[in-house]
Amino acid sequence: MKVFDENTNVDYTFFSKIRGILLGNSLAVSVGKDGSKKRFRRFFVGGFIVRSKVFWLVVLALVVLIAVISCHAPRGIGSAGLDIITPSAPIIVIPDDEYPPYEYDEPEIEQPLPPEPGELDITTETKFIAGRYAGFLTWGYFRHSTGDLAVIESLVRDTYTGAELTLADIIEMEEIEKVLSLLAEAVLAHATDSAPYLDLIDEDWLAHLVIDHDGLGVLLPPDIAPWELGFMYVVLPYEELDETFKLGIEIGIRIPPHRPMVALTFDDGPSPYTEKILDILEAHGGRATFCVLGYRIQRQPETLIRAIALGSEVVGHSWDHADFTRLGSNAITNQITRTSTAIEEVIGQSPPPIMRAPFGQINNTVINTTRDLGYSLLHWSVDPRDWEYRDPDSIYYNIMRRVTEGSIILLHDIHPSTAEAMLRVIPRLIADGFQLVTASELIAYHYGELEPGVQYVGFRNASW
Ligand code: ZN
């Protein structure tokens, strides 16, 4: 390349050969006014500045600037040699003493208190009258730190039908004023300071009734009147309730539950000897269960009526003593319902839903059929074999050596020897402290409500 400046007469080719760093096609030259003696200061070649202190300073400044920026710039994904940001949060470790403890003012939300355990402090009592009606009473407190809560449950059940009796079933509602005045009397006798509250007594005060042994029990909860005596239990005597108590006929007989009881059961009647047995029961104040055959009922309907009037019970023992284990379900059903209907026609009420299978023979068909009909099965725990030993002394001995509290004794009122044996058996059992009750009464006391399809056996003497 030949470079000649006509104004200064300088041939610059010389310089280009010496420095030899001429790149590109653009060249600007700046020289001193004295021409060739001046050394060049700078070349501009294609935008490059070389051999200039300023140039190198600028380059240095740029390098430093890039280095500083690269240190402080956000670290990007994939930058070689830098941390890679992963989807999870970056882990930044800050020394504990660098920042004050992190404090977050949690909004105050009112949390419900966890339930505190309370304690149930209750008493349950079961009372029976004449077996047919069972009374249950539960009362007490659920004791808790927030205060005591009164707990009260009462129930009067007809064990024949399973029905729960209402106030109207128990009390003649037209005579309720008389009952309420008896209640006021009883409350006053129980707590003399209750007089100011007697005016408050109304039907609500009879909400918790139970049939007790000597009268109608009334439980008054602590909150019904402000005398602060807690629960109050008063008894309205049956004799004073008189005709206002609708179950009065049945409760003529009472069973003290603490005394041992046995049930005499007589099968296959009625017969002329049944009347003799009723004479003995009437004379000594005992009751029994008569398991009658349906076909015999119309021969002596008055015997059944008398048995009921004396507090005994009449239940079915099939129509004609057919072995139920040889019958199908329909035939068994017919035997049971036909006999029950015949009993009801005579005594004016349905017999209790329990029956004795002929020969005591049962199988699954018998159990299922009686259960479906709502009947229980009455078995026995003492069999003196009066049908075999037609001897009053043998019968007496066989009973007395085996009888125990809760026994159900199997007998047959079609044999004169059995009726004669009762002349000794009945007074002896009563003298020994046994209450002679019906099978339904004994079951109600010992087992509770009759359960369909269940066979009740009675208690055996452990010594034989
Ligand atoms: Zn029989």
Alpha-helical (H) ranges within 126-271 are 167-170, 176-190, 238-241
Spacing, Cα 321 to ligand 1 middle (Å): 6
270-316: per-residue pLDDT in tens?
Answer: 999 999 999 999 999 899 999 999 999 999 999 999 999 888 999 99
Strand pairing category for 261-267 and 408-412: parallel
Beta pairing partners, 110: none
Q: What's the confidence (pLDDT) of residue 183? A: 93
Spacing, Cα 348 to ligand 1 middle (Å): 24
Spacing, Cα 355 to ligand 1 middle (Å): 11
Spacing, Cα 2 to ligand 1 middle (Å): 152
Beta pairing partners, 156: 135
Q: Which residue has the higher pLDDT, 302 or 30?
A: 302
Beta pairing partners, 266: 290, 411
At residue 185, the 3 state secondary structure works out as helix
Q: What's the confidence (pLDDT) of residue 9? A: 62
Query: Mean pLDDT across the stretch 235-249?
Result: 79
Q: What's the confidence (pLDDT) of residue 86? A: 53
High-pLDDT (> 90) share of the chain, %: 44
| Residue 125 φ/ψ, nearest 5 degrees | -130, 140
**CA angle, 123 then 129 then 132, to 5°:** 110
35-94: per-residue pLDDT in tens?
Answer: 444 444 444 544 455 556 776 788 788 988 888 876 665 544 444 444 555 555 666 666
401-424: per-residue pLDDT in tens?
Answer: 999 999 999 999 999 999 999 999
Integer CA distances (angstroms), 408 to 69, 380, 382, 433, 446, in order: 108, 5, 6, 16, 12
| Residue 89 φ/ψ, nearest 5 degrees | -65, 140
pLDDT at 11 over 70: no
Q: What's the confidence (pLDDT) of residue 26? A: 39
Spacing, Cα 311 to ligand 1 middle (Å): 22
High-pLDDT (> 70) share of the chain, %: 74
Highest mean pLDDT (candidates 102-106, 241-245, 293-297):
293-297
Strand pairing category for 354-355 and 376-378: parallel
Beta-carbon neighbours within 5 Å of ion ligand 1: 267-268
105-139: per-residue pLDDT in tens?
Answer: 776 777 666 666 778 888 877 766 555 677 888 88
| Dihedral sign (CA 168, 174, 177, 182) | negative
CB 437 within 8 A of CB 293: no
| Residue 160 φ/ψ, nearest 5 degrees | -75, -45
Find the catalytic residue in 208, 317, 379, 412: 412
Verify whether residue 258 is a known catalytic residue.
Answer: no
Q: What's the confidence (pLDDT) of residue 351? A: 95
Query: Mean pLDDT across the stretch 129-153?
Result: 79
Distance of CA 17 to the CA centre of its chain: 113
Query: What gap in Å lies between CA 184 and CA 172, rounded to an integer?
Result: 18
Query: What gap in Å lies between CA 62 and CA 70, rounded to an integer?
Result: 12
Spacing, Cα 41 to ligand 1 middle (Å): 146
pLDDT at 160 over 60: yes
194, with CB counted inside 10 A (0-12, 13-18, 19+), is buried
Q: What's the confidence (pLDDT) of residue 229? A: 65
pLDDT band (50, 70, 90) for residue 224: confident
Strand pairing category for 261-267 and 435-437: parallel
pLDDT band (50, 70, 90) for residue 392: very high
Q: How many Cβ atoms sit within 10 Å of the Cβ of residue 279?
A: 15
pLDDT at 1 over 50: no
Spacing, Cα 279 to ligand 1 middle (Å): 22
All structural domains of the chain with their residue ranges:
1-103, 120-251, 256-456
At residue 57, the 3 state secondary structure works out as helix
CB 450 within 8 A of CB 159: yes
pLDDT at 220 over 70: yes
Distance of CA 186 to the CA centre of its chain: 36
Is 256-456 assigned to CATH 3.20.20.370? yes
pLDDT at 29 over 50: no
With residue 199 as reference, give the H or E element that holds it: none
Q: What's the confidence (pLDDT) of residue 99? A: 61
Query: Mean pLDDT across the stretch 431-455?
Result: 90
pLDDT band (50, 70, 90) for residue 95: low
Query: Mean pLDDT across the stretch 22-44?
Result: 46
Highest mean pLDDT (candidates 117-121, 194-198, 238-242, 399-403):
399-403
Verify whether residue 412 is a known catalytic residue.
Answer: yes
Q: Which of 46-50, 152-156, 389-393 has the lowest mean pLDDT?
A: 46-50
Find the catalytic residue in 208, 212, 267, 413: 267
List of residues 6+ apart from 133 with CB closer than 8 A: 156, 157, 158, 159, 165, 211, 247, 250, 251
Spacing, Cα 359 to ligand 1 middle (Å): 5
Q: What's the confidence (pLDDT) of residue 97? A: 66
Q: What's the confidence (pLDDT) of residue 54? A: 75
Q: What's the confidence (pLDDT) of residue 357? A: 97
Spacing, Cα 268 to ligand 1 middle (Å): 5
Q: What's the confidence (pLDDT) of residue 464? A: 55
Tokens encoding 208: 């918790």
Q: How many Cβ atoms sit within 10 Å of the Cβ of residue 349?
A: 11
